[in-house]
Amino acid sequence: MRCIMCEKEGARYRCRPCGSAYCSSDCFKTHRAEGEDARLCSVILAMQKKLSPPNDADLAPDLFSDAAAKSGRGKIEKSAATAPEGNTGMKEKEEEEEPGVLYLLKERHLAALANDPDIRRALRSSLLQQMLRTIDQSRSRLDALDAALHNNPDFKHFCEEVINLVALVEEGKLHHKRRRRR
């Protein structure tokens, strides 16, 4: 790769904000300086903003609205939430009990989350959507999630609601609409 500042081959680093390659700390400092040079980070970011298409989230229909739920858009079949998955064997139980193992949600969990009115209502919040996008785009998602849980009580409450709903599905206790807590 070629350095954005000195144009030498072998640039091993990238500027986080704009993605430009650079080869040394001197080139990085020059690149991050203020000014009107086309090679500077602020200028590149401004150009990227002008050239980038509008955010898909702004143009997409609201999949979490009540109208979408009634029309069937954004809805996962309820049969998927209650469909038996058969005997998964001992391997799954071992994985669930191991500390540090990432647990992947099954179709029934996702269906329950997609059809839960409280979760859908919370997901309409543009602030929550932005926080979820930020966590997803973070270099260290677990650290970003941990920070959001500690710094934002509303986000922590949302996560607790999700975990409680997944636990109800896992225990087989979710048959109808869950009770609303107020």
**What are the tens digits of pLDDT across the range 13-71?**
888 888 888 899 998 888 888 777 767 788 777 777 776 665 555 555 565 666 656 66
User: Residue 114 and residue 8: Cα distance in Å, rounded?
Assistant: 51
Q: Are the CB atoms for 127 and 152 separated by under 8 Å?
A: no
pTM of the model: 0.48
The pLDDT assigned to 165 comes to 93
Strands, E assignment, the chain: 13-14, 21-22
Return the bridge partners of 13, or none: 22
Number of structural domains the chain divides into: 2
Are 39 and 65 within one domain?
A: no
Q: Does 115 share its domain with 27?
A: no
| Residue 92 pLDDT exceeds 80 | no
Residues 97 and 23 grouped into a single domain = no
Q: Taking Cα atoms as reference points, which of 50, 7, 42, 16 lies closest to residue 31?
A: 42
Band of residue 83 on the pLDDT scale cut at 50, 70, 90: very low
Is residue 88 a contact partner of residue 57, using CB atoms and an 8 Å limit?
A: no
